[in-house]
Amino acid sequence: MLSTPLGLRPITTTPVLCKICDGPANLYGVVDMNRPCQTAHAHRAPLTGVPIYYRRCADCGFLFTDAFDDWSIEQFKTHIYNDGYEAVDPDYRIKRPTDNAAAVARFWAPHKAGMRVLDFGGGNDVFCTSLRAHGFAEAVTYDPMVPEHAVHPDGKFDLVTCFETLEHVPDPLATIGAMAACVADPGGVFYSTLTQPDDFDSQGMSWWYVAPRNGHISIYTQHALALAWHRFGFKTAPLNSGTHLAFRTLPPEWGLAEAPTPA
Fill in the amino acid letter for 106. R
Tens-digit pLDDT profile for residues 195-212 = 999 999 999 999 999 999
Per-residue model confidence (pLDDT) at position 43: 60
Mean pLDDT of 219-241: 97
Backbone angles phi, psi at 118, to 5 degrees: -120, 125
Pairing of strands 16-17, 24-32: antiparallel
Fill in the amino acid letter for 60. C
Per-residue model confidence (pLDDT) at position 122: 87
Per-residue model confidence (pLDDT) at position 258: 54
CA distance readout (Å), 39 to 47, 177, 187, 213, 214: 16, 32, 35, 12, 11
pTM of the entire predicted model: 0.93
Tens-digit pLDDT profile for residues 134-185 = 999 999 999 999 999 999 899 999 999 999 999 999 999 999 999 999 999 9
